[in-house]
Amino acid sequence: MLKSTLQQTDPEIYNIIQKEAERQEYGIELIASENYTSKAVMEAMGSVLTNKYSEGYVGKRYYGGNEVIDEMETLAIDRCKKLFGCEHVNIQPLSGSPANAAVYFAVLKPGDKVLGLKLDHGGHLSHGHPVNFSGMLYNFVQYEVDKETGRIDMEKVREIALREKPKLILAGFSAYSRNLDWKRFKEIADEVGALTMADISHVAGLIAGKAIESPVPYFDIVTTTTHKTLRGPRSAIIMCKDRTIQKMVKGEMKEVSLAKEIDKGVFPGMQGGPHDHINAGKAVAFLEALQPEFQVYAKNVIKNAQAMADEMMKLGYKVISDGTDNHLIVVDMTSQGVSGKEAEVAMEKVGISCSRSTIPFDPRKPMDPSGVRLGTAAITTRGFDEEDTREVTRIIDRCIKAKDDEAALAKIREEIVALCKKHPLYK
């Protein structure tokens, strides 16, 4: 279909897509937020469902002709509930930051205090950074990692919570390589009377694959993107408890349904019509994640990340927190005399994609930070095992050492292509 139709209609776009397909096929993807969807997920996203408008929810739409869409959305909801064990889920959010915005909109008012992880300590822009809507609209106070261990000190989190009395405590990250103590976060929130929100965007697939603990049994609200380790479309969902909360409504404190407030926060609060073709892709991804082989995949992602961290440290690199419990590691590249940006550029020349990253207490600027963030979700999808991952790590080291030697980098590029051919992206 793609070749016979798109190539004829728009050969320029077709050729660009083919270039990207070749880049993905013969390159190694180590960006921790990226992965490869299955062909089935892509087929769902490229389906006729993109033609439909369906503002509202199942059985309560603002457009006619949604009986089939209702069937699809119900199936996606049921699969998600089974996968994560959640009481309520809204599968309509378009992306991760809008999902977080919908939660804030549902349970907070502008100026309310929220406790979240600082960006350069592993948090996310939407967790309260001053340049982001979250930091502009809400009063975020932030916790950090310990300078010596690179880990979150839960006693310090408790101290901040007791002092600041936030309305919402947010646990989640985009560049933190250790498991979060969900139960302890919940205990601290209960102590200060705060709601709990977990952003599991990076580790949702590891949770779905039962490789790490889930916050769903403990937390009031859980948001996640549906790509990254979950291997679904570029989109998001919001899960929550089916319980009541206290909320200010027209100047009066009232008991309201958390699930209903979340749904209203998504629609009509933050967005209009859902993307039904993407929601169908989520349904497919949930089904795939419910299969036994997905649990094997999730465990292998962590094994590969731990192999990469171990090999990095053997080669003399400083890995933040000295290891990982999940799919990613953050490496202080200044331990080898280069900046994060220099390392990213050198790796890109040989066909390895990664993302520069700040490190905790980073003395360098965000656009040229000290570190890089590396992730193993995508290479594990391709079938890379622990020895393959160690080989990739050794290649990275050679690449960094040869960053100014174009001839040496060209030879390394040939090795990368050969390694990728051993693990074809779509068999």
**Tens of pLDDT, residues 93-125:** 999 999 999 999 999 999 999 999 999 999 999
Residue 170 assigned ligand-binding role: no
Q: How far is CA 292 from CA 168, 209, 286, 382, in A?
A: 35, 8, 12, 17
The domain ranges of the chain are 43-289, 296-422
User: CA–CA separation, 307 vs 316, rounded Å?
Assistant: 14
- Sheet with 328-332, strands from edge to edge, namely 318-319, 328-332, 371-375, 355-357
pLDDT in tens, 375-419: 999 999 999 999 999 999 999 999 999 999 999 999 999 999 999
**119 is an annotated ligand-binding site residue:** yes
Q: Is 125 annotated as a binding residue?
A: yes
- Supply the CATH classification number for the domain 43-289: 3.40.640.10
Distance separating alpha carbons of residues 267 and 40, to the nearest angstrom:
28
Residue 4 has pLDDT above 80, yes or no: no
- Residue 260, classed as helix, strand or coil, is helix
pLDDT tens figures, 331-381: 999 999 999 999 999 999 999 999 999 999 999 998 999 999 999 999 999
Contact 201, 235 (CB under 8 A): no
Q: What is the dihedral of CA 83, 88, 90, 91, to 10 degrees?
A: 20
Is 297 buried (19+), middle (13-18) or exposed (0-12) by CB count in 10 A? buried
Q: Is 419 annotated as a binding residue?
A: no
Q: Which of helix, strand or coil describes residue 170?
A: strand
What is the pLDDT averaged over residues 74-82? 98
Q: HSE of 95 in the Cβ direction (CA atoms, 13 Å)?
A: 5
Q: CA-CA distances (angstroms) from residue 380 to 36, 294, 318, 424?
A: 10, 11, 23, 12
- Per the CATH hierarchy, to which homologous superfamily does domain 296-422 belong? Aspartate Aminotransferase, domain 1 (3.90.1150.10)
- Report residue 194 as tokens: 């705060």
pLDDT of residue 250: 82
Q: Which residues are catalytic?
A: 53, 55, 199, 225, 228, 234
Q: What are the distances in angstroms from CA 192 to CA 29, 100, 171, 185?
A: 42, 22, 15, 11
